[in-house]
Amino acid sequence: MTLRIYNTLSRAMEPLLPLEPGHVRMYVCGMTIYDLCHIGHARMMMAFDVVQRWLKSSGYRVTYVRNITDIDDKIIKRALERGITIRALTDEMIDAMHSDISKLGIEAPGLEPRATEFVPQMLSLIRQLEVKGLAYKSSDGDVNYAVRKFVGYGKLSGKSLDELRAGERVAVQGGKDDPLDFVLWKSAKEAEPEDAKWDSAALGFDYGKGRPGWHIECSAMSCQTLGDTFDIHGGGADLQFPHHENEIAQSEGATGKPPASLWMHNGFVRVDNEKMSKSLGNFFTIREVLAKFDAETVRFFLVRTHYRTALNYSDVHLNDARTALKRLYTALDLVSPAPCSVDWTEPFAARFKAAMDDDFGTPEAVAVLFDLASEVNKTKSAALAGLLKALGSCLGLLQGDPKVFLQSGAELDEGAILALIGQRASAKAAKDFAEADRIRKELLARGIVLKDSAAGTTWEVAQ
């Protein structure tokens, strides 16, 4: 089965047909760095981490670019509030992001361009648009994009210009010719810090001092790193309009070529049926979540829902994810996995592949893992345990030591637990079964479940 992906642009499932056979080029819109990343950001980065993992598992060479926006109104405001430079703030937040997402097993992209490193390329793209009559200098010093002059505006979001004309009831801002137009180059304001200003003249352009608009950043960076047209463009559903719509207008307007063959958008994380966002104040940072739940449980929680589906965040759902993940690790704890090179014609592997080739269908793929774990429990097959671990690796799961996972989060330290297990063994040897049972119940009250077998007594953390 050929890998098929839901293309937001065509609103249909389409086969992945890389422009260069065997090589997938993917650009994903990353973070605007002014604060710690929250679990909604993690969901986006996790979705495309799974995408690039599966592409590699399928034999593709992948060039994965995920940008960083490190100049923006919110960044400037936060830097001023803290009394530090923009670079000091963004360096701090980038380091924090890398630290947080690495704990979740989110692999680094091949390229991670920062917007501030591509200002000359942005200015060059703006000049191309101006030459083609799609950009104009306004009376307030900004350079704007003339939306109505780009044929096909709205094709990604499905919004027609007639629908968007509701904006005409709003007064035209600054020097815009039309309320629908958006800024490409923001003229510098006197009150803004100097490190938020670029002198376009020093870079060979006549747009005055200022900084790039948000949308032009990704058009310039994607074009410079992947070419005029590449295979996959991704990001959160909230970016579909206006950010990605405007990217198409800019990139296609300048080059005459579509920027991407396929457009992918992941669903929101919701809290109480509202989108998680900093503006609503209903967000939980990755660090806050990891203070309560282990990293692999959080990863499993994010991965087991299809990337296009809205995901409801709650402690109840994370506890459920932990319980489910324990079932998989229990199978690997029961039988030591044999080394495995996946044979994709093997029935379990074939089902897993079919699920993932159907628009990265992780819910069905995870269901295969549970069926496989049940078979491991029944057959005690080291080969099937090896396959379970190998398939889990495609999702970034089940690569840890099973005992470490099953025993993580214990209220008592391991030494105290082993001491009590030893006392219980002595009581049983002395036929003091009441004392042995008392110790078992004491441990259970402290969240520790004992498992007796011919090989001895082991323990794990209860849920």
Are both 165 and 235 inside the same structural domain?
A: yes
Q: Report the alpha-carbon distance of residue 295 to residue 314 in Å, rounded.
A: 15
pLDDT tens readout for residues 105-115? 999 999 999 99
Q: What is the CATH number of the domain that holds 355?
A: 1.20.120.640
Are both 243 and 298 inside the same structural domain?
A: no
Are both 51 and 193 inside the same structural domain?
A: yes
Confidence of residue 69 (pLDDT cuts 50, 70, 90): very high
Residue 409 has pLDDT above 70, yes or no: yes
Range of the domain at 421: 409-461
Residue 442 has pLDDT above 90, yes or no: no
* Range list of H helices, 280-432: 286-290, 295-303, 315-334, 347-357, 362-379, 382-393, 402-407, 414-429
Confidence of residue 427 (pLDDT cuts 50, 70, 90): confident
Are both 328 and 193 inside the same structural domain?
A: no
Predicted pLDDT of residue 170? 47
Percent of the chain with pLDDT over 90: 80
Predicted pLDDT of residue 171? 47
Confidence of residue 305 (pLDDT cuts 50, 70, 90): very high
The owner of tokens 């900084």 is 211
Predicted pLDDT of residue 454? 67
pLDDT tens readout for residues 127-177? 999 999 999 999 999 999 999 999 999 999 998 887 776 545 444 566 799
Are both 384 and 290 inside the same structural domain?
A: yes
Q: Report the alpha-carbon distance of residue 210 to residue 197 in Å, rounded.
A: 5
Predicted pLDDT of residue 255? 97
Tokens representing 340? 């495995």
Here the contacts of 369-372 (C-beta below 8 Å, separation 24 or greater) are 369/328, 369/397, 369/398, 370/324, 370/327, 370/328, 372/331, 372/348
Going by the DSSP 8-state scheme, the letter that residue 239 receives in this structure is G
Are both 393 and 431 inside the same structural domain?
A: no
Are both 434 and 372 inside the same structural domain?
A: no
Q: What is the CATH number of the domain that holds 152?
A: 3.40.50.620
Give me the sign of the Cα torsion angle 202, 208, 210, 216: negative
In this prediction, residues 365-386 reach a mean pLDDT of: 98
Q: From residue 70, give the alpha-carbon distance in Å to each of 40, 93, 107, 128.
A: 19, 10, 21, 24
Residue 343 has pLDDT above 80, yes or no: yes
**CB 68 within 8 Å of CB 221:** no
Are both 328 and 431 inside the same structural domain?
A: no
- Final residue belonging to a domain, choices 364, 389, 406: 406
- Final residue belonging to a domain, choices 231, 266, 301: 266
Residue 195 has pLDDT above 50, yes or no: yes
Burial 165-197 (b: 16+ CB within 10 A, else e): eeeeeeeeeebbebbbbbbbbbbbeeebeeebb
Are both 89 and 105 inside the same structural domain?
A: yes
In the chain, how many domains are there? 3
Tokens representing 69? 């926006």
Are both 176 and 297 inside the same structural domain?
A: no
Are both 41 and 169 inside the same structural domain?
A: yes
pLDDT tens readout for residues 270-294? 987 777 777 677 789 999 999 999 9
pLDDT tens readout for residues 215-228? 999 999 999 999 99
CA 327 to chain centre: 25
Q: Report the alpha-carbon distance of residue 248 to residue 29 in Å, rounded.
A: 13
pLDDT tens readout for residues 8-20? 999 999 999 999 9
The answer, as to whether pTM is greater than 0.75, is yes
Predicted pLDDT of residue 275? 77
Q: What is the mean pLDDT of the chain?
A: 93
Residue 364 has pLDDT above 90, yes or no: yes
Going by the DSSP 8-state scheme, the letter that residue 114 receives in this structure is B
In this prediction, residues 283-310 reach a mean pLDDT of: 96
Are both 398 and 417 inside the same structural domain?
A: no
- Final residue belonging to a domain, choices 387, 406, 425: 406
Report which residue type is found at 282: N
